[in-house]
Amino acid sequence: MDTPFRFSNRVMAVALGLIAIGYLVLAFQMPDFTAVQVPVQPSTLPRWLGVALLILSILLFLQKGGAGKDATASGSGAASNVADSEGTSDEGAETGTRLGRLSDPRLELALFAASAAVYIALITPLGFLLSTTLYTVLTTWYLGYRRHLVNLAVSAGVTAVLYFGMTEGLNVVLPSGPFPF
């Protein structure tokens, strides 16, 4: 079976771990606001996200099967030889479990990074509710989910729960966009 990445799980885990450590260093440099009494400081969520990413990268590093994939990840020719010896081919991968629509996984990652950048740029003018709902609907549609009404309902519902949980439960101010709340 052809993997979407040319890197082993351990290489990806080390890269994600380094990103998590850098993110945590930056998150712990965020100042706490002592003038405003809020139960959750603005730096709390980034710190927990960094810890979660670090834990997930450690779990990825320790995942079984990572060492066996090192041999296939050493070169694209070796990976295709293994795939051919298993009776699979790129055509099988085309109809198999491959996500997205592009044949090159690097372009797929670049596309998702660009879409995340557009999402971040639109979060202030459109607000958290609209931009997050739009982002999740479009990404799940792109990944192949075809039940559009269910997709819209779940995206809007989860986004609304997150928005009101953050704003009402944790007193975190999120961009409201055109909505008055």
Give the residue with greater pLDDT, 114 vs 31.
114
Q: Please give the C-alpha separations between residue 106 and each of 6, 56, 112, 138, 169, in angstroms, as whole numbers.
A: 10, 22, 10, 19, 39
**CB contact at 8 A, 175 and 128:** yes
Is the per-residue pLDDT at 115 higher than 90? yes
Q: Among 14-28, 93-107, 142-156, whose mean pLDDT is lowest?
A: 93-107
State the average pLDDT for the chain: 79
Specify the residue for token string 């966009």: 177
The reply to whether the predicted model has a pTM over 0.75 is no
Per-residue pLDDT band for 103 (boundaries 50, 70, 90) equals: confident
Per-residue pLDDT tens over the stretch 54-92: 999 999 999 886 444 444 444 444 344 434 444 444 444
Query: What is the Cα–Cα distance from 80 to 1, expressed in whole angstroms?
Result: 9
Per-residue pLDDT tens over the stretch 34-58: 776 776 777 888 899 999 999 999 9
Q: Please give the C-alpha separations between residue 72 and each of 17, 69, 78, 86, in angstroms, as whole numbers.
A: 22, 5, 6, 13
Tell me what percent of the residues of the chain surpass a pLDDT of 70: 74
